Amino acid sequence: MTRLEHPQDPQIEQVLNLSESQIPQEAMDKFYRAGYRIVGSHSAVEICYWTKQSLRRNRVCYKQKWYGIKSHRCMEMTPALIWCTHSCEFCWRPLEFTSKGEPKPDEPSEIIDGCIAARRQLLTRFGSREGVDRGKWRKALTPSSVAISLAGEPLLYLRISELIEEFRKRGMTSFLVTNGTRPDRLRSLTKEPTSLYISLCAPNAETYVKVNRPLTADGWIRLNKSLELMKSLSCRTVLRLTLVKGLNFFSPEKYAKLILKSEPDFVEAKSYSWIGESRRRLPSSSAIPLEALKEFAQAVARGASYMLKDVDSASRVALLAKG
């Protein structure tokens, strides 16, 4: 395989180890242009929008307000960039590169070293920008939390428990986001993240097929098995409803029944965002107005005996918690 057409800092190329990538060259080039940095043979890192906002404008992600992380010190990464079991209508990544299998796993410590090094390189230019607090920027170079969520399905990375444990050893909290199609991997976690998210984007099987476009015939069954497993976990659990007007923004009572099955600590009802590659598949009107989202979240909360705790207008997301 040829080297990436857009060379990265030679001082960190050995850490990133791109020479044996399992990601096609065309995909690497496209992700690079989109702001991603490939790490090792199957992972990637990007600077989150809210990390940039925190440095530039002192605005923070709802995860900082609700769960106590620091937006400027949160690292967004994935150990399975193009490997997924879904091909979601609302996904922001280029779906043409999706691989149905799973990657041959790199070492967890090498993945983390590479992600931190690449993220630091991406953050370098912020240090000299007007309005950026230099002290805050220096702290941002050393992440204190990680969102294992950037793209792909992270549970397809065979050594996910070791990755979570390695983050923990480095003093980092972790958010693991899964689409729920690998209940076997979820069940076999030997190390749990600080927070586990399961994405629930349909109130029934028919809508699930239409919205998530699963690459496995039994995706809905697998998802429901993961929902049933959620209550047995000891970490913080969150069910995320990604809602798209015209696709899955209906039947709050059916979402409530699925919440009762999983009993998460929190539910996030979040509007679809018209960003990335999803703009090729969906119109901008697919994003849900804040008031409509709030009304829907309240209906879901009533049906599941949860309470609407807060609404973040910038991200158009409502937080529900057990009453």
The pLDDT value given to residue 9: 52
Name which residue leads in pLDDT, 2 or 240. 240
CATH architecture of 1-173: Alpha-Beta Barrel (3.20)
Q: Are 307 and 279 in contact (CB under 8 A)?
A: no
How confident is residue 225, by pLDDT bands cut at 50, 70 and 90?
very high
pLDDT-derived band at 16 (thresholds 50, 70, 90) equals: low
What one-letter code names the amino acid at 66? W
Least reliable range by pLDDT among 89-98, 153-162, 231-240:
89-98
Please give the CATH topology (third level) of the domain spanning 179-201+218-323.
Answer: TIM Barrel (3.20.20)
Average pLDDT, integer, range 4-20: 51
Give the pLDDT score at 289. 96
How far is Cα 177 from Cα 239, in angstroms, rounded to an integer? 10
* Average pLDDT of span 142-162: 96
What is the pLDDT at residue 262? 96
Chain Cα centroid distance, residue 119: 16
Residue 15 has pLDDT above 60, yes or no: no
pLDDT tens digits for range 35-49:
999 999 999 999 999
| Strand-pair partners of 298 | none
Sheet holding 317-322, edge to edge: 37-39, 43-46, 74-78, 145-148, 173-178, 195-199, 236-243, 266-271, 317-322, 306-312
CA distance 56 to 265: 32
pLDDT above 70: percentage of residues in the chain: 94
The answer to whether residue 4 scores a pLDDT higher than 50 is no
Q: 62-66, 128-132, 166-170, 270-274 — which is least confidently predicted? A: 128-132
Predicted local confidence at residue 1, as pLDDT = 30
Residues of the chain with CATH 3.20.20.70: 1-173, 179-201+218-323
pLDDT at position 92, please? 87
Average pLDDT rounded to a whole number, residues 22-39 = 93
Q: For the ranges 26-30, 75-79, 152-156, 266-270, which has the lowest average pLDDT?
A: 26-30
Residues β-bridged to residue 196: 176, 237
Instruction: Determine what percent of the chain is predicted with pLDDT higher than 90.
Output: 86
Helix axes 252-262, 290-304, angle to 10 degrees: 50
pLDDT tier at 127, thresholds 50, 70, 90: confident
The pLDDT value given to residue 11: 44
Q: What is the pLDDT, as a whole number, of residue 17?
A: 58
Span 241-299, pLDDT tens digits: 999 999 999 999 999 999 999 999 999 999 999 988 889 999 999 999 999 999 999 99
Q: Give the pLDDT score at 19.
A: 54
Rounded to whole angstroms, what are the CA distances from 130 to 55, 56, 76, 134, 137?
10, 8, 24, 10, 12
pLDDT at 175: 97
Q: 273 vs 246, 286, 288, CA distance in Å?
A: 14, 8, 9
